[in-house]
Structure 1
Amino acid sequence: MVVQDNSAASIYIPELHLETPDGSIAPALHQLLERTTLTFTHTGTNAIAVVARSEDSEDEAAESPLLPAEEVTVTGRNLTGSHLRHLKLDSYAPIDVLAQPELEITGAQTIAELLKFLPAVSGNSTSTSVTNGGNGTATVTLRGLPASNTLVLINGRRIVNNGFGGEAADLNTIPLSAVDRIEVLKDGASAVYGSDAIAGVVNIILRRDFDGLSVNSYYGQAERGDQQTNSYSVTWGAGDDDRHLMFSLADYRQGEIYSRDRALSASADNRARGGTDLRSSASPQGYIALSDGVVTSTENGYDTWTPEDLYNFREYTSALVPSERQSLYVAGNQNLSESVEAYAELMAIRTRSESTMAATPVFTRFDNGDLTISADQIHNPFGEEITDVRKRVLELGPRVQYNSTDTWRLNTGLKGTVEDWQWELTAAAHYTRAKERLSNLINPNRLSTGLKGADVCNADAGCVPVNLLGPSGSIDQAQLDYIRGENRVSGATRMASLTYVANGPLGHNRAGDILAAAGVEIRREAIDFTSTDASGLSLIGGVASGAAQGERLIGEAFGEISVPLIAKSLWLDGAVRYSDYSDFGSTANPKMALRWRPWPSLLLRASYATGFKAPTLVDMNQTGSQSQEFLFDPCTNSNAASLPGCNGRADQARIQYLTEFGGNPDLQPETSDNRSLGIVWTPGDFTGFHASLDLFDIRQNDVIDTNPQYLINQNALNGLFSDRVLRDDKGDITRVVATRLNIGAREVRGVDASMRYQYQSRELGLIRWSINSSHMASYLNQLAPGSPVENLAGTFVDSASGGAGSLPEWKANTGIYWKRGRWEGGYTVHYVDELEESFTLNNESVTRSIHSWSTHDLQLAYGVPLGFRFAIGIDNLLDNAPPFAASAFNDNFDARTYDLAGRYWYTTFSFNM
């Protein structure tokens, strides 16, 4: 008999011994179903459907050489992107599934590491590979859209966003050791999940029904002796027919890589590679602009300053941030009756990271405060007022940024069945607190006082004169103690929600069952974000994060339906979600999809949906944010005199500009239209094969942007935004004011393609091959109404300059997995297509290619009797360095897309019982 899956545990079945000769499970299924009215059919590489027997089905099934499947699907389950129960291959959108075998064979130890090389992932995700500008968090960016456009779920439910900016979920707060599988929906899903699901959804399914004991250890190290990484986890679970309890403990520690330890990243001077010299004019000897020229200090006096005196700050910076994470995950359930179950899930995660940056630079003309050095200052030997000094204060030591995050998540609820319907009521409470401390900065107020004469700076006033005009080492301990500053940031995000959803057959027509789902959700979100510079005056060498306090109440109702139009071949699917936000209003988003199966082995699918992304609480409420942004001023070019917004040629040595950011309480949601068209082929006579091809088109309007580079370009080239781009009488930018606005528009088009094949025999064992690729045909971006539309597909523009990062036209991976007896192995190739970048070299715009990049990963494992497993792996087997990017600020390459470590060895040891 066929029963609901949650009722199967209460039914006694006599022990059966089923034969599987030659590795085929077809005889076993025949034996299992021979006295029933049911038979089976292959619906995919690893999926078998049990269906009603027709007159000729028995003969057809007997001829089918079915292979062992990872999963036998008897009844459908809820897939990511829908509350309805579908077979996986009947989904109306492409879904990548990374299950336990794939997770284990990659050797990945974090979710961010695992997702980084997925073909659909591109753009400006964050991770511990991002140092200058990173904060210890990790995000995922599908289709090159910002991380806030990809919704991250745990077990199909929303989670709280990170505590630093509240923009997106932090993947570092989800332990990989507790993960059962990851489903990546590559389609918009606002009609199902609400805000943020414009580019797609990453649904992380945790282990909940694990029985036994699992102990895992991992050690890895780059061949050059750094990035030493350790990971340990213990998972235990036990239960009976009425109850189950499991917990998982994990500890992860990642070592650092310094920029100086790789040839690619060791120097900021890239002229030999065809790039520019990105070394800093703020050097330990100083850049001192006098009335009769520019000089630099030496032990023997003062010499004329030359570009060769620029400072290579990469000698001190970390390229991979050392970090650690500890986690606890507990899940339990208790049957209250034959049809009702109570459950609870608790997760606690602690993360810590520490990044190193070069010592604080001082730009007296462009930093905060009055940093003019008085003519009568005790350390001024020139007898004139000096306004422009650029000094690297090595005496302070490197800047060190400490980040910590503590996250708690509790989900609890009831679920059950009423006849053929399933229902679930969930209450959730999530909390994240994040802290950041950046040390060895300079207090601009104290430095301003210390640069004045004795009438202002004297012992009675508690002032210590500061020597910015001497050689390195001339700033003594008393001066350092006087000017040293430290910036602290503390942010907390909270989310509480109550959700009810039910799904089941709504009725029946001639073509089959009409499936439906409906639900309601009430959610409260809040953020409390403060920093020591909340007044807006950033410490020199740091970033003023400002402050943001706000909360909102969201009420939502949603529904889905799937109507069969022709039995077993044509379905019409629909969904709609209504969302009401207390701070900006309401929105309704529908989705329609059509699935047609003209032959059992072929599925055609098409969908249309609208989506939205609500402005974050930081977007709407932030005040006092400041930073030195890496931007380009067209007024530094030789043709500056002919540009309407330039007052003479600006300083060519500058690459950073003081920029103020701010929230806007009048922001509206970003909106989108998502279209997709796809085909899935699972030939019945070639049962281990599966292929799919899907076209996607995402159109996004009212994009929230704060692009200071756009403001500078429009100011210089057209004389616009003079109230936002502030220049002094020499034409140099003193400040850029960039508040958030709904001004941008995007359209991303492309194709996803995948193939999988699985074969098994007694001689060769199990062999599984797959290829997954994504082609970005176009990425049309318009910064503001009236501005030109740019196609960014195949380009790289660093996020430090306000760009979208790396957007390769092609990104793919392919791999082969083998298992025979106690042996198993995997070989994977990752590929990133070449890119183009543009930058200014010798006052001319230059476009160059960033060459394509591929890595080869290998793992071999052996299972010892009694549950032991040992594996050794090599990532980047050919030691292929990332491609050089002349416009990349961090380490001369895009750390969000590539990996700097080089050849990397690791071993794993596990015990399962």
Structure 2
Amino acid sequence: MTLKTTKLRDAITFALVVGATAAAGTGVAFAQDADEQEATTLDRIEVTGSRIKRTDIETSQPVFSLNREEIAAQGLTSVGDVIQNISANGSTLNSTYNNGGNGETRVSLRNLGSNRTLVLVNGRRWVGGTGLGGAVDLNTIPTAAVERIEVLKDGASAIYGSDAIAGVVNVILRQNFEGAEANAYYGQYDKGDGARQAYDFTVGSTGDRWSAMLGVGYVKEDPVMAGDREISAVPVFGSTPGFGGSSTTPDGRFCILGDVQFCQQPNGEYGLFNINPGTPNGYTTYRGSIDNYNFAPDNYLLTPQERVSLFANGSIDITDDIRFRATTQFNQRRSEQLLAAMPVTIIPLFNIGAPAFGPDDTVISADSIYNPFGQDIQWVQRRVTETGGRSYNQDVDTFAFNGGFEGSFDVGDRFFTWDLGYFYGENEQNDTTFGLFQYSKLKNALGPSMIVDGTPTCVTTAGDASTAIDGCVPLNFLGGAGTITPEMLNYVSFVAQDSYGYEQRNYYGSIGGELFDLPGGPLAFSFGVETRKESGYDQPDALINAGDTTGNARTATAGQYSVDEAYLEFAIPVLADVPGAELLEFSVASRYSDYSNFGDTVNSKFGFKWKPISDLLVRGNWAEGFRAPSIGELFQGVSDSFPTLLDPCNSVNFPGLTPEQQARCTSAGVVPGGYNQSNSQIRISTGGNPNLKPEMSESKTLGFVWSPSFIQGFDVSLDWWNIELQDTISGLSGQAIANRCIREGDAQACGLITRAPGGTIIDLLSSGLNIGSGEVEGYDMTMGYRMPETAYGNFNFIWDTSYLAKVEYDVDGDGTRGEVSEGGNLVGEYSDRNNNWRIRSNLAVRWEMGDWGAAWNSRFFSRQDEDCTGFDPVNTALLCSNPDRDVNNEAGRPVDAPENRIPSVTYHDASVYWNAPWNARVTLGVNNLFDKDPPRSASTFANSFDPQYELPGRFLYMKYTQRF
């Protein structure tokens, strides 16, 4: 037999290798030729989650699919945004992340983290992002090239290997396209900002023994400024004026460290002072939040991107039994984040700044020509708005190639298929950051200075021109906002140039077919081997690597690992066409993985599907899973952060410690009674751990699919799922390390803390450990109904809902889960950019009649509650929906526990299209039709609503499609 002897054989080969869906257009209902109609049928031959080639669409695992037309109906320009709208997705990066974002868009099924969701393209593992965390940046996949998206809502490490703990997203690209097609898209918010435009062109042709396709695409997404929306125009919307603002202001906040008083003003009075050139003394007393700086309007609310893509594929039949296929693509992303101007903070007492500087090393010198007070100023906080802000720019190039041979052969009357291939993927990223400062030059520019030949000159010794510092320009930090000149900035600032890279090479081969007949049909198998090598690097700017910067310092990262794998999968049909068992089939699979860094692991799965009657399918699965530690987790260089940490040994907490705990403080150098911790932001150094082991998981699903024969076109599926995690990689927070050391006597934790004389924490090291665990559980329901044709046209309904029943985590290995919520279950509990919606639900309605069509999509997010402690009484009353809430502590005593309710929200999107007689389509649409504002949050970092919600405002768009 040959590849072309039967229609079924062609169907199987085409569907499984090409992975193409029906209409080769952007969801346009044009007349299709015979090949396209056949492709529509063949799309149902293989479903993500199995390597076995079969003609039955139904497997034992739940899979949700979006075709090209359903994708287009959402009116979005990023495949990442489309995937983030899936009901099973949780919280992760997107373009609404400005402070903390990097231009990437990721997916996090079950809210287990983007590194626990495997992303495939055409059934093959996609190259990881340059963040070195192992997660895929969905923006590296060209939007115009996507044919459909399949989402496996189950663990699949036995089939695909690492990362497939929460599920698998398989993006299928367009192939076997015949003809030509052009698309043009433009949209913007009704506020007049946030414009998006997209253009693409695809051309392809097929012959008897070959096919070829080429496509190009361009997408540009403009920003939205935070100041242009009421909810984001202040740091904390709904609070008192100045609350949440920065104490580091454009005029500056300063103090002189006195011999008697800790912090004093130039006249000797106690307290910090602000520069105020309009007053007789040139300064005023700092008045707390009243004088804080509103940095919010200087930030992006929606970050900009520009993407250019090129994609191509082709195939040729070498013989009737052997075919060569190749797919290649290139995508370039340019993106930016814009933050308020850099706050220069020099508080030597707490060692905030470059660690090389001693307590008295960097000051505004009494001998500076710009210091009118004649005293050294040691405490310096000045936001340098003269720079125009901190601009972080990414230029990312992604290249991927997948090529190989496939074929078939017969042994007796048994038919087998095989493939051998190679995948190469590479991400290269160059970052440019503006608005940073070099600490060593700040030291020079703030030090002694004098006028030499009419020119302001920095000197190392006051009054001695012979000690002039070459190139240094004295810096005026005490003149108020706007007094720093371009010449001053040019000396103390620098443009950071960072580079990142990630590379993946994968060789694979498989063979499969049917071995022998069982009572329910032939026993089918798939056996495959793979070898993969992944490597990555992070090369920071030399000044950042050396720590000589006002930004967070970090050292270089570089590392790699390799893995050899083999898998075996069986489909075992036990019964068919007997009473009580129209079908009973079991599936088993196992994968052996041998990693170069931690050794080997074996992960298996077992599933079943049973049709007691033809209308009902019952299905279930048990699967082991794992996630190998990423390049960053293994080899990341040391970097700095400054989180909030309340030291158990400070003077407030010290009296509440036991004598044994107090002794641990004093033995570490803390003064008796505890020290005065005036600053809650402590330096934390984080880095990689090459001794990490893989995370492990166990997932279970059980559900049914009902397709009643008496309701044509209707089906409903309901699945229960449960995922347990063990040995999760978690970096202990600085607070957890300090508590473990002092409160629990953990010597290993104490060894991570460095204290200055007197007890102040000046450094703390944190790296990942396999110490965590967790469990999530819920239900998925998907209901579809394609109504019979009516006099009013054709109607199609899809309702997809995820219900979350349990979320429990133990992130620090102390055996306690869900510490931030009562009862340990985090369902319905919100914390900073971490959503645990009980219900996420999407309803899509489509209508077609003649040349007209329309779509209506609704997206529902259930309410959540967030912890609302830490505010003063006035703002607690303003920001918290339940400010007087109490809970009982471990001793049974009531303690204040104010809470804020984040209400539920439903977004509605609508579009209408017309098929023109010249083989074109015109689409008009509006997302967030009813202008629903996002629900306010009191705890979301750098914003007053979570990035997973829509920006305020309607988004209007138009799309034109032309086929040739």
TM-score by length of 2: 0.84
Q: Distance in 2 between matches of 1:539 and 1:796?
A: 37
1:279 to 240, 245, 254: 245
CA gap 1:470/1:692 in 2 versus in 1, 3 angstroms: same
2:586 aligned partner: 572
Q: Distance in 2 between matches of 1:751 and 1:325?
A: 37
Q: How does 1:865-904 map to 2 (within 5 A)?
A: 865-895=917-947, 897-904=948-955
Moved more, 789-798 or 767-776: 789-798
Which residue identity does 1:689 align to in structure 2?
F
Shift in Å, 1:894:
1.3
Q: Distance in 2 between matches of 1:149 and 1:213?
A: 38
1:90 to 31, 52, 58: 58
Paired residues of 2:842 and 2:860 also in contact (CA < 8 A)? yes
Which residue identity does 2:362 align to in structure 1?
T
Paired residues of 1:678 and 1:693 also in contact (CA < 8 A)? yes
Moved more, 762-771 or 86-95: 86-95
Does residue 600 of the first structure (1) align with residue 629 of the second (2)? no
Q: How does 1:816-831 map to 2 (within 5 A)?
A: 816-831=845-860
Q: Distance in 2 between matches of 1:792 and 1:289?
A: 44
2:88 aligned partner: 120
1:864 to 916, 927, 930: 916
Alignment RMSD: 2.7
Which residue identity does 2:865 align to in structure 1?
E
Does residue 437 of the first structure (1) align with residue 432 of the second (2)? yes
Q: Distance in 2 between matches of 1:626 and 1:882?
A: 33
1:262 aligned partner: 229
CA gap 1:376/1:150 in 2 versus in 1, 3 angstroms: same
Does residue 303 of the first structure (1) align with residue 284 of the second (2)? yes
Paired residues of 2:843 and 2:857 also in contact (CA < 8 A)? yes
Which residue identity does 1:872 align to in structure 2?
L
Paired residues of 1:178 and 1:207 also in contact (CA < 8 A)? yes
Q: Distance in 2 between matches of 1:507 and 1:728?
A: 74
1:484 aligned partner: 493
Q: How does 1:735-884 map to 2 (within 5 A)?
A: 735-786=763-814, 788-790=816-818, 791-798=825-832, 805-838=834-867, 839-842=869-872, 845-884=897-936
Shift in Å, 1:506:
1.8
Shift in Å, 1:501:
1.5
2:140 aligned partner: 173
Which residue identity does 1:855 align to in structure 2?
Y
Shift in Å, 1:727:
5.4
Which residue identity does 1:841 align to in structure 2?
F
1:498-533 CA distances to partner (integer Å, 9 max, x unpaired)? 111122212111221111111001111111221114
1:289 aligned partner: 255
Paired residues of 2:80 and 2:106 also in contact (CA < 8 A)? yes
CA gap 1:9/1:631 in 2 versus in 1, 3 angstroms: closer
Q: How does 1:411-426 map to 2 (within 5 A)?
A: 411-419=402-410, 420-426=415-421
Shift in Å, 1:851:
1.3
1:468-495 CA distances to partner (integer Å, 9 max, x unpaired)? 3332123333322221022221111111
CA gap 1:412/1:329 in 2 versus in 1, 3 angstroms: same
Paired residues of 1:534 and 1:546 also in contact (CA < 8 A)? no
Q: Distance in 1 between matches of 2:300 and 2:708?
A: 51
1:374-396 CA distances to partner (integer Å, 9 max, x unpaired)? 65341444455443222111122
2:475 aligned partner: 466
Does residue 77 of the first structure (1) align with residue 45 of the second (2)? yes
Shift in Å, 1:550:
1.4
1:388 aligned partner: 379
Moved more, 337-346 or 730-739: 730-739
Does residue 563 of the first structure (1) align with residue 568 of the second (2)? no
Q: Distance in 1 between matches of 2:718 and 2:232?
A: 39
TM-score by length of 1: 0.88
Does residue 650 of the first structure (1) align with residue 677 of the second (2)? yes
Paired residues of 2:46 and 2:57 also in contact (CA < 8 A)? no
Give the secondary structure class of the aligned counterpart of 1:478: helix
CA gap 1:636/1:473 in 2 versus in 1, 3 angstroms: farther
Does residue 4 of the first structure (1) align with residue 14 of the second (2)? no
Q: Distance in 1 between matches of 2:753 and 2:246?
A: 23
1:618 aligned partner: 632
Q: How does 1:202-213 map to 2 (within 5 A)?
A: 202-213=169-180
Q: Distance in 2 between matches of 1:733 and 1:226?
A: 46
Shift in Å, 1:729:
6.3
2:332 aligned partner: 350
1:265-317 CA distances to partner (integer Å, 9 max, x unpaired)? 000144538x9922111111222133321111101211110121111111211
CA gap 1:745/1:276 in 2 versus in 1, 3 angstroms: farther
Give the secondary structure class of the aligned counterpart of 1:741: strand
CA gap 1:858/1:473 in 2 versus in 1, 3 angstroms: same
Q: Distance in 2 between matches of 1:70 and 1:367?
A: 66
Paired residues of 1:215 and 1:910 also in contact (CA < 8 A)? yes
Paired residues of 2:736 and 2:812 also in contact (CA < 8 A)? no
Paired residues of 1:560 and 1:575 also in contact (CA < 8 A)? yes
Gaps of 5+ in 1: 11-31, 33-67, 800-804
2:520 to 489, 505, 511: 511
1:529 to 533, 538, 558: 538
Aligned residues: 847
Give the secondary structure class of the aligned counterpart of 2:529: strand
Q: Distance in 2 between matches of 1:629 and 1:132?
A: 15
Does residue 367 of the first structure (1) align with residue 350 of the second (2)? no
Greater strand proportion:
1
Give the secondary structure class of the aligned counterpart of 2:70: helix
Higher RCO, 1 or 2 (CA under 8 Å, sep at least 6)?
1
Q: How does 1:714-729 map to 2 (within 5 A)?
A: 714=739, 718=743, 721-726=749-754
CA gap 1:2/1:267 in 2 versus in 1, 3 angstroms: same
Moved more, 74-83 or 145-154: 74-83
Shift in Å, 1:4:
2.7
1:752-774 CA distances to partner (integer Å, 9 max, x unpaired)? 11111111325122100111111
Percent of aligned positions with the same letter in both sequences?
A: 31
Paired residues of 2:554 and 2:640 also in contact (CA < 8 A)? yes
Q: Distance in 2 between matches of 1:9 and 1:679?
A: 29
Paired residues of 1:633 and 1:712 also in contact (CA < 8 A)? no
1:329 aligned partner: 311
Moved more, 674-683 or 856-865: 674-683
Q: Distance in 1 between matches of 2:128 and 2:644?
A: 27
Does residue 496 of the first structure (1) align with residue 487 of the second (2)? no
Paired residues of 2:225 and 2:299 also in contact (CA < 8 A)? yes
2:959 aligned partner: 908
Paired residues of 1:254 and 1:323 also in contact (CA < 8 A)? yes
Give the secondary structure class of the aligned counterpart of 2:939: coil
Q: Distance in 1 between matches of 2:801 and 2:13?
A: 41
Paired residues of 2:157 and 2:163 also in contact (CA < 8 A)? yes
Paired residues of 2:12 and 2:53 also in contact (CA < 8 A)? no
Q: Distance in 2 between matches of 1:144 and 1:328?
A: 32
Which residue identity does 2:173 align to in structure 1?
L
Give the secondary structure class of the aligned counterpart of 2:232: coil
Q: Distance in 2 between matches of 1:680 and 1:739?
A: 45
1:692 aligned partner: 717
1:693-735 CA distances to partner (integer Å, 9 max, x unpaired)? 1111111111112242553672698376444355556876543
2:690 aligned partner: 665
Paired residues of 2:773 and 2:811 also in contact (CA < 8 A)? yes
Give the secondary structure class of the aligned counterpart of 1:899: coil
2:555 to 546, 552, 556: 546
Paired residues of 2:47 and 2:57 also in contact (CA < 8 A)? no
